[in-house]
């Protein structure tokens, strides 16, 4: 791989059900390609062990998030599993001004909202090989109680209903194969 990899789109948007491997894929791509930078979402959900504010998410309390909404600071936002998630306009603008291809790791509705704003975006849906595998992955996180797990599974059908609106659907059965497939989709080929 050359040092100056070119990407097909200025915005690459990943969406998936919780536990499908989307965040792992995004982190691996960011580590391999210095021209990529992730748009860090803001959220009101509690911080998980090992996460860092400003690196994994911008953690906000509900009142601050709602004030930012009223000031029009979000490109998109959603309430998912009882928590707000959103993309701050300024964060994306700063990354593009610095010359990065911006990568998003967001829910399906957020992905489609960003595609409306940035038509030249590429949408990639990461799908688990089966519901059983997804359940195993979520349980393996050890951060999901039964109620949260149930909520995530109830949302699965809703998320799958948007797959046909994505440019690509990639089944994540093997992380290395999935990353290779994604690289084939996002990297501009030299003619």
20: annotated binding-site residue? Answer: yes
Residue with tokens 């070119």: 6
3-state secondary structure of 37: strand
What is the C-alpha separation between 65 and 184, in angstroms, rounded? 37
110: annotated binding-site residue? Answer: no
CA nearest to 12, candidates 86, 88, 89, 104? 104
What is the C-alpha separation between 139 and 120, in angstroms, rounded? 36
23: annotated binding-site residue? Answer: yes
CA nearest to 77, candidates 114, 47, 52? 114
46: annotated binding-site residue? Answer: no
21: annotated binding-site residue? Answer: yes
Crossing angle of the two packed helices 22-32 and 175-186, in degrees rounded to 10: 60
Residue with tokens 């990297």: 187
Identify the helix (H) or strand (E) that includes residue 86: strand 83-88
42: annotated binding-site residue? Answer: no
Q: Which residues are annotated as a binding site for ATP?
A: 16-23
Q: Which residues are annotated as a binding site?
A: 16-23
């Amino acid at each position: 791989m050359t040092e100056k990899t070119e990407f097909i789109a200025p915005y690459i948007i990943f969406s998936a059900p919780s536990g499908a491997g989307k965040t792992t894929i995004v982190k691996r791509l960011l580590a391999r390609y210095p021209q990529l930078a992730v748009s860090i979402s803001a959220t009101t959900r509690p911080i998980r062990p090992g996460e860092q504010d400003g690196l994994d998410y911008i953690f906000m309390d509900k009142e601050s998030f709602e004030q930012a909404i009223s000031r029009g600071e979000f490109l998109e936002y959603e309430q998912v599993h009882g928590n707000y998630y959103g993309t701050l306009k300024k964060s994306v603008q700063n990354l593009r001004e610095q010359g990065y291809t911006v990568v998003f790791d967001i829910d399906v509705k957020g992905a489609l909202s960003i595609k409306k704003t940035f038509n030249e975006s590429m949408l990639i849906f990461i799908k688990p090989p089966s519901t059983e595998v997804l359940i195993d992955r979520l349980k393996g996180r050890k951060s999901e109680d039964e109620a949260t797990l149930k909520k995530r599974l109830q949302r699965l059908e809703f998320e799958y209903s948007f797959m046909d609106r994505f440019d690509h659907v990639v089944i994540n059965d093997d992380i290395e194969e999935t990353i290779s497939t994604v690289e084939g989709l996002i990297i501009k080929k030299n003619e």
